[in-house]
Amino acid sequence: MSDFDCRKVRNICILAHVDHGKTTLADHLIAGYSGGLLHPKQAGRLRFMDYLDEEQRRAITMKSSSIALKYNDYSINLIDSPGHMDFCCEVSTAARLSDGALILVDAVEGVHIQTHAVLRQAWIEKLTPCLVLNKVDRLITELKLSPEEAYNRLQRIVHEVNGIVSGYKSEKYLSDVDSILAASAGEMGVENQEFVDDDEEDTFQPQKGNVAFVCALDGWGFCISKFADFYASKLGASAAALQKALWGPHYYNPKTKMIVGKKGISNLSKARTMFVQFVLEPLWNVYRAALESDGEKELLEKVMKSFNLSIPSRELQNKDPKVVLQAIMSRWLPLSDTILSMVVKRMPGPITAQSFRISRLLPKREVVDNGDNSDVLVEAEQIRKSVEACDSGPEAPCVAFVSKMFAVPLKMLPQRGPNGEVVNNFMEEGGAGESDECFLAFARVFSGVLYSGQRIFVLTALYDPLRGESMQKHVQEAELESLYLMMGQGLKPVASVKAGNVVAIRGLGQYILKSATLSSTRNCWPLSSMVFQVAPTLRVAIEPSDPADMGALIRGLRLLNRADPFVEVTVSARGEQVLAAAGEVHLERCINDLKERFARVSLEVSPPLVSYKETIEGEGSNPLENLKVLTASSDYIEKTTPNGRCVIRVHVMKLPPMLTKLLDESADLLGEIIEGKPGQRNQILGTQRGKCTVEGDDPIETLKKYIVNAVESEIKTGSKEIDKERIEKYRSLWHQFLHRIWALGPRQVGPNILLVPNSKGSKINGSVLIRGSPNVSERLGFVDVGRMKNRDEDIPDQSLYVEVENLESSVVSGFQLATAAGPLCDEPMWGLAFLVEAYIVPLGVHSDESESSTQQLDQYGIFSGQVMAAVKDACRAAVLQKKPWLVEAMYFCELNTPTEYLGPMYAVLSRRRARVLKEEMQEGSPLFSVHAYVPVAESFGFADELRRWTSGASSALLVLSHWEALSEDPFFVPKTEEEIEEFGDGSNVLPNTARKLIDAVRRRKGLPVEEKVVQHATKQRTLARKV
């Protein structure tokens, strides 16, 4: 590695929607420049990077893997990534290790849901993107477009992709689903319009050389510069001028030999732009000449001559016209050269890239130097500088980031070390000694030099160098056993790796679970965490077929958890082993891995455990009514503790959906704010998935602003229904509301609110109200710190005061328990505000007071426990009384179907309770594209069923979108006259969907289910006799 020049390195990844051709493209780059790993004849068909059996079987990529290429004197680390939504976390791991991204878009299918996602990922990680429009051949052979039509289509895709990126640039935060919906709403009528130039420059511009037009299958592709160079001598113009003119509304006037704009053209309707005339038409001609039986073969020869191509006549004589075509095209416009020269020219090397990626990798921390920590701060700053400069000198501190761990069978490891020495591969692998798997870390060196045998610190994302002692569990010391250069599946041992390179490291298996920062010093901040787009939502319980295999299963799950960056393994409250995966395909792969590699026992897998939430219908009619809970209206549930000393009244109201969503999405941030760890706030903001992704701002202020916005928009919608004077009252009630947040639940950060009771509320004789304090409002800055706490005047008796204060936590715990498990089926509550008034009767007042309190304790348990249980019961009862609703998770689903299969597709959708949002013919293709919401509960087997019913012609992609209430009353009984007319007296009303779902969950959890097998038995019998 002595001749290593960091400027001649490129780390790139290929990102795209599923099936847009990433692995096919990678094949050609590998065939051209990997030193003979793949024969050019196999390129495009073998899918070299899909080396797992499962990947070849399903023909999709499931993991990201890297390969080192040599192009001229450049070394290029290429990472192929999966496009399927289930494996999108692998996109995050690929993006973190790269500096540039090739964004592929299928020219026929255009921009898809995952295209949005990968563009966002590239933008978050500050990668330099280049656009590759793939499958251009399909425009000619399948869609049979004319060159003009093809140009319009390509132009539209480029424009659309630019629009998405400019949305990210202008910091309009939209989740992936939101941005698709926003785009489709605004799209109408914009098509074919003259594209208005945004104030800022477009990211992708063919004339600037960062857009390539390719056909990965046949191995050809070009950038505009190729044609500019070629025509420069022919037309006698400069290549630079042609490069600018070959895209956009520029025309060539053969008489004057001038390039002119629209105005300079006499007959605009007949004119062809230069891109059409000089680029697409020759292409179309070659295709036509080669593929059509009556095609003019002379034309082929003309092209070959004018472009100076020498093609062995053996290949030209081939009977199969496709082979002839491929032979010509791949020599005329060789794909791997086009792509790699674009990469080398347009993408930065590690030194340049790290200088601007630093703000993402190691955001500046604002820590006050208090004298004690200056040594640490100075060194941490040096490290930051060294990463910024990508310093690979021998003295530079070492920093590397491990973006995932992956397992390889021990027998796959090279038998020899970098210098040809034989190595012992069968060393104990830490805790996982019994398995035949070895864990390697997929990493990038950002500073310094890593060498095998080096000792290094492994830092978790939570490590804080300033809190030395208390951070022991976040830092470990490890030895790097071996380093490998990755060649797809193959591994090439190396002795050392310099900054700016991607590497696989052995020896960290027992130190790292998913990702980590490696550093040669403890005084280093961990690199910021990666952002994942989705959470693992599909959960199943797993048990061994033979109970004796439990040990093997648990060991296997532990290995799987380490080997897959995204899987989550937990143990449920009932002791089941629960596996959470991103989707069905991912789950299937995990189960296979468990069966065949990690546990090697036969398994039973439960049906998916779907999560639900519980809420109430809420008063729709009068928004003011809704807020009455604040003033403690008479609409409450009352419970008394068994010892009779505490009376609890609970009011419940529904929160506006926007506020609920915000609280839910900001859970991580709220957790930090409520626990109050100021040092980490800025960092958290960058990594969390919620609304607040603005860098630099104070996260509390941002969140507060979002909360106020959510409330204001609720006031706006609510105020339409009430008269003017009452709007102000309404607003003031809402602001009061924000000042009274005592706690959030469940688990302190959920989307439910506990309000402090209004002290003016009614009193029960002689009793004292537990007042609580608006802790959350205080943390969020809605109320001043330390305003409350002087309440002694109310309570004369000091011991009672202490008791009341101690019971506050019981009220909060009761609220937490209730919101964690609602009354319908023990699922968490969703978007509710509770007002809990707990009145304590002083000992002297109560009638039982003569008995000693110890006796009460024996009989009913500890008083605080009684209060907690009573609060919990009362909250649950309050929900039950207010028309409870079930809330289910929804997927956003994007479907593509040929017109003739629309019928079967809609049949499948309706069987699965889907709601169609949009349906639209894709211009210039026989495909219909449909957007719909599908409940998660109905999504299992959805893709398979769709494939079966449409003979494999439809495809569907699902992304988790939002929570939605099932607007039906699970306990529906006909009451009004009309209902009775329609449904009878209720005896033969079948359980509705909500009721069925609830019963299924209750049965799974072993809760009692009310099931009447025979209803009204006598009635039935009488009827039968009469017949």
Per the CB < 8 A criterion, the answer to whether 52 and 67 are in contact is: no
Nearest CA-CA partner of 34 in 2, 66, 60 = 66
Q: Which residue of 92, 134, 775, 961 would you call a contact of ligand GTP, by CB under 6 A?
A: 134
Taking the least distance from each CB to ligand GTP, the nearer of 138 and 639 is: 138
Taking the least distance from each CB to ligand GTP, the nearer of 134 and 203 is: 134
14, 199, 211, 541, 994 from 196: Cα distances, Å = 30, 9, 20, 54, 49
Mask for 764-793, x = binds Mg ion (CB under 5 A): ------------------------------
**Segment interacting with Mg ion, rule: CB under 5 A, options 22-30, 288-296, 536-544, 897-905:** 22-30
What residues pair up with 628 in beta bridges, in sequence order? none
**Judged by CB under 6 A, does residue 654 bind ligand GTP?**
no
Residue 894 binds which entry of ligand GTP, Mg ion, none, CB below 5-8 Å type-dependent: none
**Judged by CB under 6 A, does residue 20 bind ligand GTP?**
yes
Return the DSSP state at 495. Answer: S
Residue 403 binds which entry of Mg ion, ligand GTP, none, CB below 5-8 Å type-dependent: none
**Ramachandran area for residue 951 (φ above 0: left; ψ -120 to 50: alpha; else beta):** left
Taking the least distance from each CB to ligand GTP, the nearer of 47 and 250 is: 47
Taking the least distance from each CB to ligand GTP, the nearer of 226 and 876 is: 226
**Segment interacting with ligand GTP, rule: CB under 6 A, options 13-21, 189-197, 492-500, 898-906:** 13-21
**Judged by CB under 5 A, does residue 135 bind Mg ion?**
no
622, 662, 740, 758 from 730: Cα distances, Å = 11, 21, 16, 17
Instruction: Tell me whether residue 888 is exposed, middle or buried, using C-beta atoms within 10 angstroms of its C-beta: 0 to 12, 13 to 18, 19 or more.
Output: buried
605: enclosing H helix or E strand:
strand 603-605
Strand ranges in 757-911 using DSSP code E only, listed in sequence order: 768-769, 832-840, 884-898
Residue closest to ligand GTP (Cβ): 83
Q: Which residue of 17, 22, 250, 912 would you call a contact of Mg ion, by CB under 5 A?
A: 22
Task: Report how far apart the first and last C-alpha atoms of the chain are (Å, whole number).
Answer: 95
**Judged by CB under 6 A, does residue 135 bind ligand GTP?**
yes
Q: DSSP string spanning 775-792?
A: HHHHHTTSS-TT-----G
**Judged by CB under 5 A, does residue 66 bind Mg ion?**
no
Per the CB < 8 A criterion, the answer to whether 712 and 689 are in contact is: no
**Segment interacting with Mg ion, rule: CB under 5 A, options 57-65, 482-490, 578-586, 806-814:** 57-65
**Segment interacting with ligand GTP, rule: CB under 6 A, options 209-217, 465-473, 794-802, 885-893:** 209-217
| Gap between the Cα atoms of 611 and 607, Å rounded | 12
**Judged by CB under 6 A, does residue 777 bind ligand GTP?**
no
**Judged by CB under 6 A, does residue 586 bind ligand GTP?**
no
CA-only gyration radius of the chain, Å: 33
Q: Does residue 746 have a cis peptide bond before it, meaning omega lies within 30 degrees of 0?
A: yes
We find the least distance from the C-beta atom of residue 83 to ligand GTP, in angstroms, to be 3
The per-type count for the chain, helices as H runs and strands as E runs, is 34, 34
| Gap between the Cα atoms of 11 and 77, Å rounded | 5
32, 299, 692, 697, 922 from 700: Cα distances, Å = 53, 68, 10, 9, 44
Residue 134 binds which entry of Mg ion, ligand GTP, none, CB below 5-8 Å type-dependent: ligand GTP
**Segment interacting with ligand GTP, rule: CB under 6 A, options 212-220, 367-375, 514-522, 697-705:** 212-220
How many residues of this chain bind Mg ion (CB under 5 A)?
3
How many residues of this chain bind ligand GTP (CB under 6 A)?
22
**Segment interacting with ligand GTP, rule: CB under 6 A, options 22-30, 151-159, 614-622, 980-988:** 22-30
93, 146, 183, 383, 427 from 113: Cα distances, Å = 19, 28, 11, 38, 45
**Judged by CB under 6 A, does residue 84 bind ligand GTP?**
yes
We find the least distance from the C-beta atom of residue 63 to Mg ion, in angstroms, to be 10
Residue 16 binds which entry of Mg ion, ligand GTP, none, CB below 5-8 Å type-dependent: ligand GTP
Per the CB < 8 A criterion, the answer to whether 280 and 147 are in contact is: yes
**Judged by CB under 6 A, does residue 60 bind ligand GTP?**
yes
Return the DSSP state at 119. Answer: H
What residues pair up with 482 in beta bridges, in sequence order? 506
Structure tokens at 887: 């809330």
Nearest CA-CA partner of 562 in 407, 355, 431 = 407
**Segment interacting with ligand GTP, rule: CB under 6 A, options 132-140, 322-330, 356-364, 553-561:** 132-140
Secondary structure in 3-state letters for 619-669:
CCCCHHHHHHHHHCCCCCEEEECCCCCEEEEEEEEECCHHHHHHHHHCHHH
Question: What residues have CB less than 8 Å from 970, skipping those under 6 apart?
Answer: 824, 884, 885, 886, 991, 992, 994, 995, 998
Taking the least distance from each CB to Mg ion, the nearer of 64 and 203 is: 64
We find the least distance from the C-beta atom of residue 216 to ligand GTP, in angstroms, to be 4
We find the least distance from the C-beta atom of residue 488 to Mg ion, in angstroms, to be 12
Q: Which residue of 102, 139, 216, 795 would you call a contact of ligand GTP, by CB under 6 A?
A: 216
> Helix, strand, or coil here: 494?
strand
**Judged by CB under 6 A, does residue 217 bind ligand GTP?**
yes
**Judged by CB under 5 A, does residue 23 bind Mg ion?**
yes
The torsion defined by the Cα of 569, 572, 576 and 578, in degrees rounded to 10, comes to -30
Burial 443-464 (b: 16+ CB within 10 A, else e): bbbbbbbbebebebbbbbbebb
What residues pair up with 962 in beta bridges, in sequence order? 890
**Segment interacting with Mg ion, rule: CB under 5 A, options 18-26, 329-337, 510-518, 880-888:** 18-26
- Angle at which helices 321-332 and 297-306 pack, to 10 degrees? 20
653, 715, 718, 757 from 727: Cα distances, Å = 19, 8, 8, 23
**Judged by CB under 6 A, does residue 894 bind ligand GTP?**
no
In the chain, the amino acid numbered 997 is L
User: Which parts of 35-54 interact with ligand GTP (CB under 6 A)?
Assistant: 47
We find the least distance from the C-beta atom of residue 49 to ligand GTP, in angstroms, to be 8
Per the CB < 8 A criterion, the answer to whether 479 and 507 are in contact is: yes
We find the least distance from the C-beta atom of residue 80 to Mg ion, in angstroms, to be 6
We find the least distance from the C-beta atom of residue 89 to ligand GTP, in angstroms, to be 14
We find the least distance from the C-beta atom of residue 64 to ligand GTP, in angstroms, to be 10
Residue 19 binds which entry of Mg ion, ligand GTP, none, CB below 5-8 Å type-dependent: ligand GTP
Taking the least distance from each CB to ligand GTP, the nearer of 20 and 153 is: 20
482: enclosing H helix or E strand:
strand 482-487
User: Which parts of 138-177 interact with ligand GTP (CB under 6 A)?
Assistant: 138
**Judged by CB under 6 A, does residue 459 bind ligand GTP?**
no
We find the least distance from the C-beta atom of residue 136 to ligand GTP, in angstroms, to be 7
**Segment interacting with ligand GTP, rule: CB under 6 A, options 57-65, 431-439, 814-822, 898-906:** 57-65
**Judged by CB under 5 A, does residue 61 bind Mg ion?**
yes
**Judged by CB under 6 A, does residue 905 bind ligand GTP?**
no
Residue 246 binds which entry of Mg ion, ligand GTP, none, CB below 5-8 Å type-dependent: none
Q: Which residue of 9, 15, 18, 835 would you call a contact of ligand GTP, by CB under 6 A?
A: 18
| Gap between the Cα atoms of 117 and 465, Å rounded | 34
**Segment interacting with ligand GTP, rule: CB under 6 A, options 12-20, 486-494, 875-883, 994-1002:** 12-20
Q: Which residues make up the interface to ligand GTP (CB under 6 A)?
A: 16, 18-24, 47, 59-61, 82-84, 134-135, 137-138, 215-217
Q: Which residues make up the interface to Mg ion (CB under 5 A)?
A: 22-23, 61
